[in-house]
A and B are shown apart, each in its own frame.
Chain A
Amino acid sequence: MTLLTVDNLEVDVAGRPILRGVGFTLTRGETLGIIGRSGSGKSMTALALMRLLPQDGQARGRIVFDGTDLLSLDEAAMCGIRGRRIGVVFQEPQSALNPLMTIGAQVAEGIRQHADVTRREAASLAAETLARAGLDPARVSPDRFPHELSGGQRQRVAIAMTVAMRPDIIIADEPTTALDVTTQARILDLLRTILRDDGPALLLISHDLGVVATMADRIAVMDEGRIVETGPTRGFAGRAHAPQVRTLIAAATLSREIAAPVPPLPEHTPAEHPPLLAAEAVSRRFGLPRAHPLAWRQYRRAVDQVSLSVQAGESVALIGESGSGKTTLASLMLGLQTPDAGRIAYRGQDIAGAGRDVLRRMRADVQAVFQDPYSSLDPRRKAGWIIAEPLHLAGPIAADERDERVAEALREVGLSPDDANKYPHAFSGGQRQRIAMARALVTRPRLVVLDEAVSSLDVVAQARILDLLARLRADHGLAYLFITHDLRVAKAIARRVAVMHDGRIVEEGMTAEVLTDPQHPYTRALLASQPDFSAFAA
């Protein structure tokens, strides 16, 4: 039975066309996955269904839900449908919750909005729903505030708020994008349980093909405001014809895009060749807030006795979820923080006691690309200036030679030398990450540390950057230390992986061996939470 029919939906925002001729149906109990790149119109579709478009947004077409056209309803009638019959889970649980209300009160508020119940009934219903969403009241009391919960727990609260009213349709817009893989897997399990128990239809929006492939009965692919392909999940990959879909699938499975394979490592004898960069039993701890002013300060060990080395020309992936200490380790190895114990050695020399010359050579040799492409470029400097910043390491340099090096770096990362005169805000996320890469390459380094350098990009942009990294490695014999929470990415780029958990490296070895025969329980959990493409690809 058809619950929702969207017919020729068109949306303009501020006069710009955003959606064109979008049409799909959703039957009771069905899960429809909508995938597409960032900016393809997925989220705008969800907002249009809820009639929550931005103020200057205009929607035309028909959205028929249970016999009524939602676009013809007035705001008051719409309020009766939002939350009660169509519920939404947003990407960022942090901003979806009110920081000043306890989680129990927030869930209860939604219940009282739509159902005629007493305060006490609403509270007990809220507690029940939170328990159903996997927040055991014995461990996570409904009296807690959002900031006392982890990201995954907050998303459970958001889901509880949505399912409390047992809506007919749940719209989940990137519900797990902000979470790491193991948490993501648990949230997806929760959604499956709710689908089984309550039987609502689910509209799952994601740029992550893996999430959609494991959850959806049917898939719709969006590109530039249109639905370019739609069909059942089983065998979707085999049937898809639209070129955008093929690109998306290839990018998500990283099957085709990585052109250059991981090269074999030249033979090393460790005694003669100390590793390019090594952490030797380093520890770093952070002070926690004191319980009261006279209390002893408690410390948390972010990095605990970790040793990790990178040989020249070698690619190493450091895997772990958020909070495992991998970013702290990277920052120690880059010399941005000083270890409390242990040492960081560059070509066998401790950088803590090293002179200026050694540090300059290390800085020129070891460069970095950081996670957030929006904060890693100074908004007040032009791209050319940003890329040239590390060049001073090689000593004074003439202006025309500097411009030549910048142009060369820009070409290297697939941008045009003319881009040197633009400010960062003129570039997309993927392009910004290329500029950051150009800045890292301009000194012709031997090692680039990439801290979650592709995780904020959509899959297609991700695949292109990984492709670029593989090519640069082939051309220049670069070594990479690749920090990621994404096993798929680690597998594509690294010869060796180290798995970090709670500040320690719990498993280390050749990528192929670790990922096929994991020893540590945490690595196994990590592998088990990888999405399964088999039905989708069949």
Chain B
Amino acid sequence: MNRDFLNARLLAGAIIVGGVCLMALISLVWTPYDPLKLDIANRFAPPGPRHWLGTDQLGRDVLSLLMRGAVGPVGVSISAVTIGLVVGATAGMLAASSGGVASYATLRTSDFLFAFPALLIAILLRETLGPGMLNAMVAIGIFYIPIFIRVSYGASLPVWRSGYVAAARVAGRGSLWIATVHVLPNIAGVLTVHTSVQLSLGVLAEASLSYIGLGVQPPQPSWGRMLLEAQTLLPISPLLAIAPGLAIMVTVMGFNLLGAGLRQALDPRGAFIPESEAVR
């Protein structure tokens, strides 16, 4: 395959993801208008020089809402994937190292978690802890844990059985050293690719939770709830639905492109062929 094209995917993904993250960060200190300020007199203003994307049914500036609305999906997705990655990858790696009862218990627990849809976990958490962004993070994060357990278990199993891990044991190294120094770097490629793919799913998951009212709470804006509110206003002002919809789509696509680009760039089979193998 053409390497330049692959690099283009990586580049495009990185630019989109970087742009969205930057936008979310900037929105915390500056937006064109205060996204929470109502201006009923000016509601349903069409796009123009004063409001680039117009205003909504309460006269709020749509561009400002869109910018601040990125904080929810991006923030929740990144923190949830981080929870899943740290807990799941560690558990998966250790399960692969030990075998036996501990490994069995970890894998069966992850099967058990798999059986719960993320939505169910989110509703469960809202009933017990109340709605909000933090709970959305935890809910999606719990959903990610078994996914990362599976990925890191599968990737690290052959590494734990490899000759260089046996050699490290003979060299008197403990499991913790081996896990961080030998296993982790050798599964880092797989984890990186998987992380970027899961980030795109995280954006979608947060948007769905906000859409059904389990995510970011009003009055703070979020793309998912913007979609919900725009739904009834579709005949009056279709832009109110199109803007957050496109924002979600582009962000998800950005993470997907990043994942695909990383997969190609990090896959050793695509990256280089060691000389010793080339001869055969």
Q: In the bound complex, do residue B186 and residue A390 qualify as a contact, i.e. CB atoms below 8 Å apart?
A: no
> Taking CB as reference atom, which chain A residue is nearest B189?
A380
Name which of B62-70, B73-81, B120-128, B169-177 contacts chain A: B169-177
Q: A386 to B275, alpha carbons, bound, how many Å?
A: 20
Q: Is A145 an interface residue (CB 8 A)?
A: no
Q: In the bound complex, do residue B276 and residue A427 qualify as a contact, i.e. CB atoms below 8 Å apart?
A: yes
Q: In the bound complex, do residue B172 and residue A371 qualify as a contact, i.e. CB atoms below 8 Å apart?
A: no
A486 to chain B, nearest CB (A): 19
Name which of B90-98, B159-167, B208-216 contacts chain A: B159-167
Q: In the bound complex, do residue B275 and residue A390 qualify as a contact, i.e. CB atoms below 8 Å apart?
A: no
Known A425-B275, A426-B275; contact A368-B166, beta-carbon cutoff 8 A: yes
Q: A374 to B170, alpha carbons, bound, how many Å?
A: 18
Known A360-B172, A378-B182; contact A425-B274, beta-carbon cutoff 8 A: yes
A371 surroundings in chain B (CB, below 8 A): 163
Q: In the bound complex, do residue A376 and residue B185 qualify as a contact, i.e. CB atoms below 8 Å apart?
A: no
Please tell me the number of chain A residues within 8 Å of chain B, measured between CB atoms: 34
Q: Is B40 an interface residue (CB 8 A)?
A: no
Q: In the bound complex, do residue A363 and residue B164 qualify as a contact, i.e. CB atoms below 8 Å apart?
A: no
B186 surroundings in chain A (CB, below 8 A): 378-380
Interface set, chain B 171-217, CB cutoff 8 A to A? 171-173, 182, 185-186
Q: Is B101 an interface residue (CB 8 A)?
A: no
A380 to chain B, nearest CB (A): 5
Q: Is B22 an interface residue (CB 8 A)?
A: no
Q: A363 to B169, alpha carbons, bound, how many Å?
A: 9
Partner of A390, one of B162, B171, B279, B280: B171
Q: In the bound complex, do residue B170 and residue A428 qualify as a contact, i.e. CB atoms below 8 Å apart?
A: no
Q: Is A372 an interface residue (CB 8 A)?
A: yes
Q: Is B168 an interface residue (CB 8 A)?
A: yes
A439 surroundings in chain B (CB, below 8 A): 167, 171
A392 to chain B, nearest CB (A): 7
**Which among B162, B166, B170 has the greatest number of chain A C-beta atoms within 10 A?**
B170
Q: Is A359 an interface residue (CB 8 A)?
A: yes
B185 surroundings in chain A (CB, below 8 A): 378, 380
Known A39-B279, A425-B275; contact A377-B164, beta-carbon cutoff 8 A: yes
Q: Is A462 an interface residue (CB 8 A)?
A: no
Q: Is A34 an interface residue (CB 8 A)?
A: no
> Taking CB as reference atom, which chain B residue is nearest A385?
B181
Q: In the bound complex, do residue B276 and residue A389 qualify as a contact, i.e. CB atoms below 8 Å apart?
A: no
Q: In the bound complex, do residue B172 and residue A370 qualify as a contact, i.e. CB atoms below 8 Å apart?
A: no
Q: In the bound complex, do residue A393 and residue B172 qualify as a contact, i.e. CB atoms below 8 Å apart?
A: yes
B170 surroundings in chain A (CB, below 8 A): 334, 336, 363, 366-368, 390, 440
Q: In the bound complex, do residue A389 and residue B163 qualify as a contact, i.e. CB atoms below 8 Å apart?
A: no
Q: A377 to B280, alpha carbons, bound, how many Å?
A: 20
Q: Is A429 an interface residue (CB 8 A)?
A: yes
> Taking CB as reference atom, which chain B residue is nearest A428?
B276
Known A427-B276, A428-B276, A429-B276; contact A389-B166, beta-carbon cutoff 8 A: no
> Taking CB as reference atom, which chain A residue is nearest B172?
A363
Q: A257 to B77, alpha carbons, bound, how many Å?
A: 63
B106 to chain A, nearest CB (A): 19
A425 surroundings in chain B (CB, below 8 A): 274-276
> Taking CB as reference atom, which chain A residue is nearest B170?
A368
> Taking CB as reference atom, which chain B residue is nearest A373?
B163
Q: In the bound complex, do residue A370 and residue B166 qualify as a contact, i.e. CB atoms below 8 Å apart?
A: yes
A467 to chain B, nearest CB (A): 22
Q: A425 to B273, alpha carbons, bound, how many Å?
A: 9
Q: A223 to B218, alpha carbons, bound, how many Å?
A: 77
Q: Is A269 an interface residue (CB 8 A)?
A: no
> Taking CB as reference atom, which chain A residue is nearest B158?
A375
A440 surroundings in chain B (CB, below 8 A): 170
> Taking CB as reference atom, which chain A residue is nearest B168?
A389
Q: A428 to B277, alpha carbons, bound, how many Å?
A: 10
Q: A366 to B170, alpha carbons, bound, how many Å?
A: 8
Q: In the bound complex, do residue A392 and residue B275 qualify as a contact, i.e. CB atoms below 8 Å apart?
A: no
A281 to chain B, nearest CB (A): 23
Encode contact with A along B28-72: 1 for CB under 8 Å, 0 otherwise: 000000000000000000000000000000000000000000000
Q: A386 to B186, alpha carbons, bound, how many Å?
A: 15
A364 surroundings in chain B (CB, below 8 A): 172
> Taking CB as reference atom, which chain B residue is nearest A424?
B274
Partner of A376, one of B163, B169, B276: B163
Q: A370 to B161, alpha carbons, bound, how many Å?
A: 12
B169 to chain A, nearest CB (A): 5
Q: A426 to B169, alpha carbons, bound, how many Å?
A: 25
Q: Is A468 an interface residue (CB 8 A)?
A: no
B167 surroundings in chain A (CB, below 8 A): 368, 370, 376-377, 389, 436, 439
Q: A427 to B276, alpha carbons, bound, how many Å?
A: 7
B183 to chain A, nearest CB (A): 10
Known A425-B275, A426-B275, A427-B276; contact A376-B164, beta-carbon cutoff 8 A: yes
Q: In the bound complex, do residue A375 and residue B173 qualify as a contact, i.e. CB atoms below 8 Å apart?
A: no
Q: In the bound complex, do residue B172 and residue A390 qualify as a contact, i.e. CB atoms below 8 Å apart?
A: yes
A428 surroundings in chain B (CB, below 8 A): 276
B171 surroundings in chain A (CB, below 8 A): 363, 367, 389-390, 392-393, 439
B280 surroundings in chain A (CB, below 8 A): 39
Partner of B163, one of A360, A372, A392, A429: A372
Q: In the bound complex, do residue A375 and residue B162 qualify as a contact, i.e. CB atoms below 8 Å apart?
A: yes
Known A371-B163, A378-B182; contact A389-B173, beta-carbon cutoff 8 A: yes
B182 surroundings in chain A (CB, below 8 A): 378
Q: In the bound complex, do residue B279 and residue A378 qualify as a contact, i.e. CB atoms below 8 Å apart?
A: no
A375 surroundings in chain B (CB, below 8 A): 162-164
**Which among A389, A390, A392, A427 has the greatest number of chain B C-beta atoms within 10 A?**
A389
> Taking CB as reference atom, which chain A residue is nearest B183?
A378
**Which among B162, B171, B279, B280 has the greatest number of chain A C-beta atoms within 10 A?**
B171
Interface set, chain A 307-345, CB cutoff 8 A to B? 331, 334, 336
Q: A375 to B182, alpha carbons, bound, how many Å?
A: 12
Q: A370 to B163, alpha carbons, bound, how many Å?
A: 7
A336 to chain B, nearest CB (A): 5
A39 surroundings in chain B (CB, below 8 A): 279-280
B264 to chain A, nearest CB (A): 19
A94 to chain B, nearest CB (A): 17
**What are 25 A-B pairs with beta-carbon distances under 8 A?**
A331-B166, A334-B169, A359-B172, A367-B170, A370-B163, A370-B166, A371-B163, A372-B163, A376-B166, A377-B167, A378-B164, A378-B182, A380-B185, A380-B186, A390-B170, A390-B171, A392-B171, A392-B173, A393-B171, A393-B172, A425-B275, A425-B276, A426-B275, A428-B276, A429-B276
5 closest A-B pairs (Cβ-Cβ)?
A376-B163, A425-B274, A390-B171, A363-B172, A375-B163
- Extra contacts besides A376-B166, A440-B170 (20): CB < 8 Å: A39-B280, A331-B166, A334-B169, A334-B170, A336-B166, A336-B169, A363-B172, A366-B170, A370-B167, A376-B164, A377-B163, A380-B185, A389-B167, A389-B168, A390-B170, A392-B172, A393-B171, A425-B275, A426-B275, A439-B171
